[in-house]
Structure 1
């Protein structure tokens, strides 16, 4: 299935949505790129992918449900973890669409390690400054189901090659050599993890989890990529998102910068932190977006 091409009424905002992982392949406002585009069917490095029913990693792909061990497929052998949820390579079904919006659907039907039926939906809609995303998860099981969600956009500030990264976080999670939380949180003040005022990409940590987020009065958190002469690209997320994951792929030129809003930290199926337990028939609703400021 080809990409879904979205265009605003005046033609100033354009996006391509890849049904695989419901990924944003391209997004531009007045010709200025807000995300790193990519080629091919599968999003490389989970570019733009929806991460559900958990974001990031599960240690050894293993977790306990009512005392019974659940074993997920190991999708990141280097860290011996189950990474990026269960739909990061799934082709979503395309539902309702207009010139500037589309709804995509995917369903989990008790896959190994996650014995629940979960209906998922994502609604993308263009705005004058960028794109909004709304995710709905519905538990179609006959028992409570744990859910969390993340997204994995690689942002761009136009053609800038060394943008500044600003993340409004007061704390970071201490990660081990497998990029999994140790359980310790530390203040960012006075450390290389303090990105509140913005730092050049080259000075930012390449892989980190941030929390204790500063928010607007309505609960929205905003992270930014900016450069003189190239404007500012802002990622915003609603109050459901409690963690911002930063990943910089410095093997690419210029480096690819992912700022991932997540409703739970890494390894949430084990820690329980940030998980939503949905009753049968209950739904969860999450919103985020990308704007050109």
Structure 2
């Protein structure tokens, strides 16, 4: 029997939640609560649309021109976003992860980034998906298996679904006081600025998203007991994504695909990140993994 295009299908369930993890990219293919979609799903035998639900490693978002310097050595990565000339979302989106543990409410998958042109480091990436009464928690752990220090960053890429309709119809709560502005055509970082200077992106007080375009990283996060939470709601229901201080950034994207009605603004990407876009160049919040060292980050999606 042929394997589905998105890889092996690993289903877990508990406390009214059901999740399906696809082994290609360790992708969150389905997440439902009491039969209601909390993320935009895709079919098992479908080539995953873009980066929907994928685990981002060893960097989230963009490296400008795919070029960076680390340890005094210049590196050039493949440009995986050719229209903008950027290296986007790391090296594992299309990698096949192996099973480490499969249980009714928990799976653990792993893959190794082998030394290659542009990233000559060997890093093992392990991701755990676990369901409990508070929703789905994903934990990503990197281990440096090589002999040299390695740059590292990670994050998830779910498109949250609040309810019926599209992004325009939903209400967003985003507790961020600062936004990383970007160039219009390439989305390359410019500067971190207060959201008060950009009121179209100020969702500290919840209000409808409307027609605003968002594809920006936010920081200056307001936290309760160390936890930041983004909420997307539609009427009396919705979905929340929360994370701790290990992710000081979050990327928000309104999934704009003009002319493609089937996917245009059908979910809101909410991506906690350990570092901002182009951190391999700026060094901002970049994790440097010493040989033998490891680093973990986690986030949680729950129904409202």
Same fold (TM > 0.5): yes
Match of 2:231 among 192, 214, 224: 224
Whether the aligned pair in 2 keeps the contact of 1:42 and 1:89 (CA below 8 Å) is no
Match status 1:102 vs 2:107: yes
> What TM-score, normalized to structure 2?
0.91
SS at match of 2:75: strand
2 CA distance for matches of 1:205 and 1:198? Answer: 16
- In structure 1, the residue matched to 2:160 is 155
Whether the aligned pair in 1 keeps the contact of 2:39 and 2:267 (CA below 8 Å) is no
Match status 1:257 vs 2:268: yes
> What TM-score, normalized to structure 1?
0.94
Match of 1:245 among 244, 251, 260: 251
SS at match of 1:205: coil
- In structure 2, the residue matched to 1:29 is 33
Aligned length: 288
- In structure 2, the residue matched to 1:266 is 277
- In structure 2, the residue matched to 1:170 is 177
SS at match of 1:4: strand
Match of 1:213 among 211, 214, 221: 221
Q: Which runs of 4+ in 1 moved over 3 A?
A: none
- In structure 1, the residue matched to 2:124 is 119
Which runs of no fewer than 5 residues in structure 2 stay unpaired? 1-6, 258-262
SS at match of 1:173: strand
Which runs of no fewer than 5 residues in structure 1 stay unpaired? none
Whether the aligned pair in 2 keeps the contact of 1:27 and 1:130 (CA below 8 Å) is no
Change (3 A) 1:41 1:104: farther
1 CA distance for matches of 2:133 and 2:110? Answer: 25
- In structure 2, the residue matched to 1:201 is 209
TM-superposed CA distance for 1:4, in Å, is 0.5
